[in-house]
Amino acid sequence: MNRSNYGTVEEFILLGLTSQRNIQLLLFVIFLSFYVISLIGNIIIITLSRISSRLYTPMYFFLSNLSFLDIWYTSSIVPKMLIDFLSVRKSISFNGCVIQMFIPLSLGGTECYLLLSMAYDRYVAICTPLHYTNVMHSNLCIRMATGSWVGGILNSIVHTVFALQLPFCGPNVINHFMCEIPSVLELACADISLNKTVIFVFAMLVVMGPFFLILITYGYIISSILKISTSVGRKKAFSTCASHIIVVSLFYGTIIFMYMRPGSTHVANQDKMATLFYSVITPMLNPLIYTLRNKDVIGAFVDITRKKFVMDKGYKH
């Protein structure tokens, strides 16, 4: 990248979560544990979705996409954050900062669309179960997943391009643990009102648009569930949506808090906690939410474990 076009700042300094050394060491252990749990959990879901025949369904196709996304999401943030916990000078190059803006923005937008795709899958399964196989065919699922990834990437390109039009001539201290775009824009040596408008407009399109469609979809789903005559049937139908509802609530709650507030109301510590939640905590919780209450995933894991045990036992004999 030709830096001469963007001002004199060559690197940024990240203030991180805290300046207290003993707390930084404690946070290093905590977030390293979170990162390992997140990687293991999401890798297990992807692996099970690929090798277990009982998970060859649209629901788990989208879930494996979500797990793949969460691996990259947390990996684009946590390793750098862990290094900074052990570093005295928490710096990041200008280009590194641009990359750290671009990747999480892409993945965040993609997750919005993926969660909408998963909601539509549950709508078809519960509201029109007899047509489920014909509607949710593999080609449609692939197109929906591809569209989610393309939409997320395009969203990030727009924000990043607009940010790079601004001059950064100092100061270069970011009151955050990562290059979150609202925090970076505050350091620009120019008027950022246009950038804030772009953020708000695209937040409406990429965040609130899918969110409102998910709400409408679940309105139809709940209406269909209430029409089921037996309590057992209603409970079974609702259980297929419970995990998705929890994930949507966690993700959209913090995203809306972060990006849908007026620019003047942004508070650094609140922004850090919101970013921490949807970029680190949520990717760790998603596989736990989808596995602990999911009989299909648990059953697939048991089946594979049993087969592995039988194979190992056979080899020994």
User: Per-residue pLDDT tens for 267-310?
Assistant: 667 778 878 888 888 888 888 888 766 677 777 767 676 665 55
- CB neighbour list of residue 73: distance below 8 Å, 6 or more residues apart: 104, 107, 108, 111, 279, 283
CA atoms within 13 A on the CB side of 96: 13
C-alpha–C-alpha distance, residues 34 and 238, integer Å: 29
Q: List beta partners, residue 13.
A: 91, 173
Mean pLDDT of 27-31: 93
- Confidence label for 1 from pLDDT (cuts 50, 70 and 90): very low
Q: What is the pLDDT of residues 131-164, one digit of tens each?
A: 999 999 999 999 999 999 999 999 999 999 999 9
Residue-level pLDDT at 89: 85
C-alpha–C-alpha distance, residues 47 and 43, integer Å: 6
* pLDDT more than 70, % of the chain: 88
What average pLDDT is seen over the chain?
Answer: 85
- Confidence label for 40 from pLDDT (cuts 50, 70 and 90): very high
pLDDT reading at 62 higher than 80: yes
> Residue 261: helix, strand or coil by DSSP?
coil
- Tokens at residue 291, please? 């596995």
Residue-level pLDDT at 259: 59
Residue-level pLDDT at 124: 93
Asked if 108 and 159 count as a contact pair (C-beta separation under 8 A), the reply is no
| CATH 1.10.10.60 holds for 3-260+268-316 | no
Q: What is the pLDDT of residues 43-57, one digit of tens each?
A: 988 988 888 777 788
Give the residue ranges of DSSP H helices in 181-230. Answer: 181-185, 193-202, 209-226
Q: What is the pLDDT of residues 221-267, one digit of tens each?
A: 999 888 888 888 788 778 778 888 888 888 888 777 665 655 544 56
Residue-level pLDDT at 19: 82
